[in-house]
Amino acid sequence: MGSHEEAAPVSKKMLWAGWITSALPILMLLVSGVMKLARPDNVVKEFTRLGYDENIALGLGIVEIACTIIYLIPQTSVLGAILLTGYLGGAVATHVRIGDQFIPPIVFGVLLWLGLYLRDARLRALIPLRN
């Protein structure tokens, strides 16, 4: 951080709350990514329903898993959250385009950032919430 003040350490309660909040979207993204790599019939049907060629599943699965791993590493978690925000934004756009339910990817994005906010003092210092 250079000449800037160091962020206060994170309490154990906030760290645990952050990881618990992040757990659902992390698990969802990892399972989703693995399913894209495995390409069972239901995934292929879903790609067709969404208007995508099934051949892009491999690339999307790799991107999804890679971004989630970047998010899981404390030193790169902010970058991972930014990348996953873009990824989930694409999911929102895809579902809006076909008139489908688009709230779940928004909720997962909020949970990713909330979990990171709770467990990363640097982010709290950058974006202070006022009461």
Domain span at residue 68? 12-123
In a domain, 2, yes or no: no
Q: What percent of the chain has pLDDT over 70?
A: 93
Query: Taking a C-beta distance cutoff of 8 angstroms, is the pair 40, 123 a contact?
Result: no
Q: Is the pLDDT of residue 3 over 50?
A: no
Q: How far apart are CA 20 and CA 14, in angstroms?
A: 10
pTM for the complete prediction?
Answer: 0.87
In a domain, 116, yes or no: yes
Q: What percent of the chain has pLDDT over 90?
A: 83
In a domain, 17, yes or no: yes
Query: Taking a C-beta distance cutoff of 8 angstroms, is the pair 94, 72 a contact?
Result: no
pLDDT of residue 37: 97
In a domain, 4, yes or no: no
Query: Taking a C-beta distance cutoff of 8 angstroms, is the pair 47, 39 a contact?
Result: no
Q: What is the 3-state secondary structure (H, E, C) of 41-87?
A: HHHHHHHHHHCCCHHHHHHHHHHHHHHHHHHHCHHHHHHHHHHHHHH
Q: Which residues contact 71 (CB under 8 A, 6 or more apart)?
A: 22, 26, 77, 80, 81, 83, 84, 112, 116
In a domain, 27, yes or no: yes
In a domain, 128, yes or no: no
Torsion of CA 68, 89, 46, 32, to 10 degrees: 10
In a domain, 130, yes or no: no
pLDDT in tens, 5-52: 455 678 899 999 999 999 999 999 999 999 999 999 999 999 999 999
Question: Which of 100, 54, 45, 108 is CA-nearest to residue 81?
Answer: 108
Domains identified in the chain, total number:
1
In a domain, 44, yes or no: yes
